[in-house]
Amino acid sequence: MLSIELAPRFNETDALGHINNTVIPAWFEAGRTEVFAVFNPSLSIANWNLIVAGYTVAFKAPTFYGAVVTITTDVSNIGNSSFELRQRCWQQGKLTAEAHTSMVHYNFQDERSEPIPAIVRAALAEHLIS
């Protein structure tokens, strides 16, 4: 499992007093940085080779300003050219949101997906959940 901690910012709250639902998907993207680095160690935009094919987010409980958030990232499936991630947002031990994201290894020059290289597949498999 990959994990990062974030401190919610005051400006991320909404009129209801909790973190706005548009913020948490951006936090999940930040939580994918280590996965991006498996495919592109330099994180160079010129060498970018991943796209998001789709994602869903389920909000389980409010997330609030003033307490650290932990974003966890697991690999839930590895295909030929795509893979699935499960990400969770935790605050004070409570699950507040969960996302499922489909990612594709992509060649932007040829505008097509490409098989995931064996070395990358092995690195992803280290974070595979059943």
pLDDT tens digits for 44-58?
999 999 999 999 999
Percent of the chain with pLDDT over 70: 100
pLDDT tens digits for 4-18?
999 999 999 998 889
In 1-130 the beta strands, taken as DSSP E runs, fall at 2-6, 50-59, 69-78, 82-91, 94-107, 112-113
Opening angle at CA 110, ends 108 and 112, nearest 5: 75
- Is residue 85 helix, strand or coil? strand
Domains and CATH numbers, the chain: 2-125 (3.10.129.10)
What's the pTM?
Answer: 0.93
Give bridge partners of residue 52 from the DSSP assignment: 103
- Given pLDDT bands bounded at 50, 70 and 90, which one contains residue 43? very high
pLDDT tens digits for 56-90?
999 999 999 999 999 999 999 999 999 999 999 99
pLDDT at 17: 87
